[in-house]
């Protein structure tokens, strides 16, 4: 049994609230264990300069950890007049992940901004943000689809992200902070429902890890991805029926 009583192949309890804020086209508050993230998706009828006139859209993300989302107050980026490297890396990851399952040519010249704000961090903030952001994107795109249906629905697949790692010699799924900070291997895996990998970020914190370890961790990530997809489908209900249909 783990620190919080879970089995090695079990994700933390997940709670998702849709339409959490009033104005965003898609808004999701997601809790995974004690990690809590607010994800808002906003649609603008314009694209970045490099896409003007090409007839396709864009999805981009801003990620932020609020000052007391951690045990010690985190200084706001605006106070330092720059975005720290970790924040930049995570928001680029979220943007890449979301774009991988959306056909940008089908949404037209629109930009979908996704703002992920970490209210409380206890490990897995980037994976939690991706899982919440995907649902926010679905809600935002569905608002367009219900008002003026797409000829072809643009979301091609479900998207999930989970963490896996090796902690005290055990391969475990969905690490909380106490596990993550002492893990020998830490890995984040972004996947689709079809079992295809969008991104794999893996690090041997103290020692290298073997190909056998990697295969076992990816197999564990696949199990976690299936658990998360079932949760996404349950919370979206009828609003996910268009995903992957191409209709």
Binding site per annotation, positions for phosphate: 86, 124-126
Integer Cα distance of 114 and 61 in angstroms: 5
Residue 117 DSSP SS3: strand
Task: Answer whether 37's CB lies under 8 Å from 51's CB.
Answer: no
DSSP 97: H
Task: Answer whether 217's CB lies under 8 Å from 202's CB.
Answer: yes
Integer Cα distance of 149 and 24 in angstroms: 20
Query: Could you give the C-alpha distances from 28 to 21, 35, 121, 128, in angstroms and in order?
Result: 8, 14, 16, 11
Integer Cα distance of 114 and 130 in angstroms: 10
Q: Give the helix, strand, coil percentages of the chain, each rounded to 5.
A: 30, 30, 40
Encoded tokens for 132: 């919440």
Binding positions are 86, 124-126
The HSE-up count of residue 88 (CA atoms within 13 Å, CB side) is 5
Query: Could you give the C-alpha distances from 166 to 5, 196, 215, in angstroms and in order?
Result: 17, 23, 13
């Amino acid at each position: 049994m783990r620190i919080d009583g879970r089995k090695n192949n079990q994700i933390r309890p997940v709670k998702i609230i849709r339409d959490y804020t009033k104005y965003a086209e898609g808004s999701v508050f997601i809790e995974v264990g004690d990690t809590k993230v607010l994800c808002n998706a906003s649609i603008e009828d314009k694209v970045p300069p490099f896409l003007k006139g090409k007839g396709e859209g864009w999805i981009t993300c801003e990620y932020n950890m609020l000052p007391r989302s951690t045990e010690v107050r985190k200084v706001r980026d605006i106070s330092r007049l720059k975005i720290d490297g970790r924040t930049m890396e995570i928001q680029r990851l979220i943007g890449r992940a979301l774009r991988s399952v959306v056909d940008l040519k089908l949404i037209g010249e629109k930009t979908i901004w996704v703002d992920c704000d970490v209210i409380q961090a206890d490990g897995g903030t980037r994976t939690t943000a991706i899982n919440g952001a995907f649902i926010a994107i679905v809600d935002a795109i569905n608002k367009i689809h219900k008002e003026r249906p797409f000829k072809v629905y643009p979301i091609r697949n479900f998207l999930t992200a989970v963490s896996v790692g090796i902690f005290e010699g055990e391969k475990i799924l969905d690490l909380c902070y106490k596990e993550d900070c002492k893990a020998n291997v830490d890995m984040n895996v972004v996947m689709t429902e079809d079992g295809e990998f969008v991104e794999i970020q893996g690090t041997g914190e103290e020692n290298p890890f073997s190909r056998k370890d990697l295969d076992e961790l990816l197999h564990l990530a696949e199990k976690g991805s299936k658990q998360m997809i079932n949760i996404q489908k349950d919370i979206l209900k009828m609003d996910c029926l268009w995903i992957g249909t191409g209709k």
